[in-house]
Amino acid sequence: MKHALSVTRSENFAAWYQDVIAEAEMAEESGVRGCMVIKPWGYGIWERIQKLMDARIKAAGVDNCYFPLFIPLSYFAKEAEHVDGFAKEMAVVTHHRLIQDGKGGLVPDPEAKLEEPLIVRPTSETVIGQAMSRWVQSWRDLPLLTNQWANVVRWEMRTRMFLRTSEFLWQEGHTAHADRADAMTETLRALEMYRAHAEDDLAMPVIAGEKPENERFPGAVATYSIEAMMQDGKALQAGTSHYLGTGFAEAAGIRYQDKEGGQQLCHTTSWGVSTRLIGGVIMTHGDDDGLRVPPRIAPQQIVILPMLRDDDGDEALLAYCEDLRKALAAQSALGEPIRVLLDKRAGKATQKRWAWVKKGVPLILEIGGRDAAGGQVSVLRRDRLYRPDGKVNFIGQDKAEFLGQAASELEDIQASLFAEAAARRDAEIHREVTDLAGLEAFFAEDRKHPGWVELAWSRPTGAALEGVVQKLKALKLTVRNTPMNDAPVSGTCPFTGEPAVERIYVARAY
Amino acid sequence: MKHALSVTRSENFAAWYQDVIAEAEMAEESGVRGCMVIKPWGYGIWERIQKLMDARIKAAGVDNCYFPLFIPLSYFAKEAEHVDGFAKEMAVVTHHRLIQDGKGGLVPDPEAKLEEPLIVRPTSETVIGQAMSRWVQSWRDLPLLTNQWANVVRWEMRTRMFLRTSEFLWQEGHTAHADRADAMTETLRALEMYRAHAEDDLAMPVIAGEKPENERFPGAVATYSIEAMMQDGKALQAGTSHYLGTGFAEAAGIRYQDKEGGQQLCHTTSWGVSTRLIGGVIMTHGDDDGLRVPPRIAPQQIVILPMLRDDDGDEALLAYCEDLRKALAAQSALGEPIRVLLDKRAGKATQKRWAWVKKGVPLILEIGGRDAAGGQVSVLRRDRLYRPDGKVNFIGQDKAEFLGQAASELEDIQASLFAEAAARRDAEIHREVTDLAGLEAFFAEDRKHPGWVELAWSRPTGAALEGVVQKLKALKLTVRNTPMNDAPVSGTCPFTGEPAVERIYVARAY
């Protein structure tokens, strides 16, 4: 069967991913190393993600703020542990002026060298910590719950659009608390918020759990993640939430006077999701005809395509389509007004149809002159694109009938996309492996998309964990996380031979 | 009369401005040179501005995108004129890694010096122009209408919060068109959009007009602005829109095939407003008791303050207040659901009242146990804070009566703030000056807040204009703009002695 993309998932998953992004006009390389241009359809999805996530953040009583792009070098020097972890590859600003080089070009002005270099923020714990140390004085100021929507830069050597770019967009929550219990409650609240966002908004099933010690955010006491399975069986870490203990508070001096008058260090947390989520959406829902966008995050949920013929009939056809658009826009689905576009642009109807198929708009309505005359619509569900015979699955309906069920259709698509992804994920979580040889054999098999292996292990730490990490690394595997609130386990850890204490997921990952 | 701020506008306007920002908890110095931290109340106002402006931008068919933070140095070198204008003072990234210096500190790694320095965007014409040169092929691709919400950096030597900071937040619209007429229409559409936003959303009267040649954006063919008068009589350029001709298109190679098959350069525009608008709101509406926020951009329009007494009565009082909150939240004002907060935090009621007065929330409701028992509310309009006798102007009302008029009250505050600002502005536009000596005398007068002078001039250019600019500069004055669609003028230009052809506003400015 012929598909809209030039490469299929089974032929070459990585090339397919790039092709979806190009054909859906989501983003492109910018010509600036490691940075992408996010185009209207990709940015529209990000705006939807922002809107839905921001509502969740605000509902939790977290206040949005904005902190500086630049962080003085000395802030990093204070936090050696932080720097050792990931902060070495960063964009460093050393000058604040350009001058002519006398040869028609421009160079940084040696006279305008900064006394102290500035780092373009890779994350904002340090600079927000400084602000918190000013804002927190007494137990009455706690908890302090802040968030910012911002761009951050990490100098990545190998980049892939949305998944790993030098500059990316994200939200970073930063909170300060009186004690461990309150900070841990917030850490897990953010984790659950991310799970709900991924599953309910993005229709992307995830496993929320704790990362192993070696995968913790540098300086964190505990790191939690949501992990999603992509269609190639790899894991995508789609959001993280960190309990930072008192280490960051100590470095930044975030102290409060307790009710008894004593000085206490705050316990802090941080949590973030980024434009990486869009990569997850593509690899969860895309098919060989392009993207499929879950209705909740679709910039347009329904596109109406009039089959214009450049003749006298066009006027009546457009009037019919405009009535349809108005009637849909006046309805609500999934708790918001339906987002519907009447695409009146010039161009062949089939070309326009396939452009919207590749963009993944949930419902496409093609309306011809005969439909208009007969009060009909021709409806295509993006998640049911073809009939068994390979034909495009347009379904003719009475306009009134369609209007009566458009909202529930969108709700059904949202649910179907989730169910499809969850069934695939569940089928690709394998539980038959019980020892290291089995693990090796499993991932050595000539399977393109091996999925994840669920194991029970002894939760090794330190050198014992490092041994496990190295063994897995040789197989290009990582421990993803330990699911929250899991049932007790039994048996023996395949790595250490000690009694197993908890489940983990082992997988290849992005 | 005692006021909530420690300094009044008439005592020291600049100190008053800083005091409003501090006392309303809008922003603070970050410790990073030239960068501020925007705190929740300030950022909440920015979110409101973004929401209202973004709706206007989208309604005009402009698509949001996102372009890279970094711009390769060579992009600037291409545009000498661009660079000569303002692009010299910029943050230059020269390295991409830090290493330990062996003395416990960190330094940029000499091994990780970039082959080509990257500039942190001061504005994005160059990098967006590169994208447009890829996106525009044929006349069918035009007009191309893009916008981004982003942070930009201009290395400012003297900074002032919101008005002039090294990093600031803004939107920048960039459009490409087939011809001059279409590009000029877009330039003026954006200008009118900014006028409407300033006047209707921010309640800030502005004069929309064309900047004189010497004040054009570097490389622009024409620059338009909206100019607002602050309470100290100075002008604030609050938004600009530029018709860029074909110069930027030529530098970036933005060409299209016309209907006859010929290659044509595009005509481009750009337009932006920034967090500077918040500075304008403060200096337009603030008074000696702090900020007054127009209801349309107020993060909270109504705050309910229960007079808690830590006794048995609190429960009934809170229930009454919560009912009131729900009833208000279910209403709409100014086209959106009313934003109402029930402030249950601990603390003295009067302290909380004055905190909200200083933040400028439009309506404050104080509710005591007796009000709750009697079905009453006590209402304070921020724009009518005191009675003639100097007492705080709380007005007791039946709850039902208040609920019936809350929306119109907010609408009235929005209109009143505009009317007050417009009356003050109009009274401070002076038309009695007709020659240079008169201008000098006018601004030499020992008046703190001299306002603007409206003149008719001959629209000099080149060296003649430069002469005017220098004369005005000696008086610390600038030509603000020539109002759009103005009536014909007569008389003689006070600068050149030639016949006057158009009106201008001459003023001190931020």
Question: pLDDT by residue (tens digit) across B479-507?
Answer: 999 999 999 999 999 999 999 999 999 99
Q: Residue B226's pLDDT band (boundaries 50, 70, 90)?
A: very high
Residue ranges of A 54-93 with Cβ closer than 8 A to chain B:
63-73, 76-77, 83, 87-93
Distance, in angstroms, between B457 CA and closest chain A CA?
Answer: 37
**HEC letters along B193-247:** HHHHHHHHHCCCCEEEEECCHHHCCCCCCEEEEEEEECCCCCEEEEEEEEECCCH
Q: Is the pLDDT of residue A2 over 90?
A: no
CB contact under 8 A, B37 and A68: yes
Continuous segment of H or E residues that includes residue A396: strand A395-398
Residue B289 token pair: 């008791």
User: Cβ distance A73 to A121 under 8 Å?
Assistant: no
Strand partners, A207: A227
Averaged over B354-381, what is the pLDDT? Answer: 97
pTM (2 d.p.): 0.97
The residue behind tokens 């109402």 is B340
User: Mean pLDDT over all residues of chain A?
Assistant: 95
CA A426, CA A207: separation in Å to the nearest integer? 11
Q: How far is CA A246 from CA A252, B133, B229, in A?
A: 10, 51, 49
Which pLDDT band, with edges at 50, 70 and 90, does B84 fall under?
A: low
Helix (H, G, I), strand (E, B) or coil at A259: coil
Q: What mean pLDDT do residues A296-311 have?
A: 96
What was the pLDDT predicted at B83? 47
pLDDT of residue B80 exceeding 60, the answer is no
State yes or no: pLDDT of A30 exceeds 90: yes
Taking each helix axis from N to C end, the angle separating A180-196 and A40-59, rounded to the nearest 10 degrees, works out to 140
Q: Which has the minimum average pLDDT: A235-244, A261-270, A345-354, B47-56?
A: A345-354
% pLDDT > 90, chain B = 90
Residue A103 has pLDDT above 50, yes or no: yes
Identify which of B155, B167, B227, B221 has the alpha carbon closest to the alpha carbon of residue B194. B227
Q: How confident is the model at residue A80 (pLDDT cuts 50, 70, 90)?
A: low
Min distance B86 CA to chain A CA atoms (Å): 11
> Residue B79: what pLDDT?
65
Pairwise CA distance, residues A477 & A509, whole Å: 7
Whether residue B91 contacts residue A96, with contact meaning beta carbons closer than 8 Å, is answered with: yes
User: Lowest-confidence range among A23-37, B93-107, B345-359?
Assistant: B93-107
- Chain-centroid distance of CA A461 in Å reads 29
pLDDT score of A81 more than 70: no
Find the helix packing angle between A399-427 and A314-329, rounded to 10°: 60
- pLDDT value for B335: 97
Substitution target from B58, B98, B147, B162 for chain A, most A beta carbons within 10 A? B98
Alpha carbon separation from A60 to A63, A147, A203, A326, B429 (Å, rounded)? 9, 11, 22, 35, 48
pLDDT band at residue A83 under the 50/70/90 scheme: very low
- Note the pLDDT of residue B105: 82
The predicted pLDDT at position B85 comes to 47
Evaluated on CA atoms A466, A471, A477, A483, the torsion sign reads negative
pLDDT surpasses 70 at B352: yes
**Chain A nearest-CA residue for B54:** A47
Residue A12 CA: distances (Å) to CA of A4, A18, A234, A448, B211? 15, 10, 14, 10, 56
Band the pLDDT of A86: cuts 50, 70, 90: very low
Q: What is the mean pLDDT of residues B137-145?
A: 97
Distance between CA atoms of residues A383 and B112, nearest Å: 47
The reported pLDDT for the residue numbered A449 is 79
Q: CB distance from A35 to chain B under 8 Å?
A: yes
Q: Would the pLDDT of B87 be above 70? A: no
pLDDT for the residue B349? 87
When pLDDT is averaged across residues A162-175 and rounded to a whole number, the result is: 97
The CA distance from B97 to the nearest CA of chain A, in Å, is 4
Across A148-161, average pLDDT: 94
Q: Is the confidence metric ipTM above 0.90 for this complex?
A: yes
Question: Is B244's pLDDT higher than 60?
Answer: yes
A79 pLDDT exceeds 90? Answer: no
With a cut of 50, say whether residue A391 has pLDDT above it: yes
Among residues A207, A210, A381, A183, the alpha carbon closest in space to that of A264 is found at A183
Measure CB to CB from residue B77 to each of A96, A105, A130 and give the nearest one: A105
- What does the pLDDT read at residue B103? 79
Structure tokens at B453: 């002078």
- For chain B, the average pLDDT equals 95
Q: Domains in chain A, please, with CATH?
A: 13-285 (3.30.930.10), 300-411 (3.40.50.800), 429-507 (3.30.110.30)
Measure CB to CB from residue A32 to each of B68, B88, B99 and give the nearest one: B68
* Pairing outcome for strands A267-274 and A167-177: antiparallel
Neighbour count for residue A3 (Cβ, 10 Å): 15
Can you read off the two tokens belonging to residue A495? 């790595």
pLDDT number for residue A447: 73
Contacts of B140 in chain A (CB under 8 A): 346
What type of residue sits at position B183?
A: A
Out of A79-83, B74-78, B139-143, the most confident range is B139-143
* Chain B residues lying within 8 Å of A94, measured CB to CB: 92-95, 108
Residue type, B287: D
Share of chain A above pLDDT 90, in %: 90
Q: Specify the pLDDT at position A85.
A: 47
Residue B422 DSSP label: H
Give A84's pLDDT tier (boundaries 50, 70, 90). Answer: low
pLDDT in tens, B279-288: 999 999 999 9
Interchain contact B31–A (C-beta under 8 A): yes
What is d(CA B198, CA B284) in angstroms, rounded to the nearest whole number?
Answer: 11
pLDDT band at B330 (very low <50, low <70, confident <90, very high): very high
Confidence bin at B86 (pLDDT 50/70/90): very low
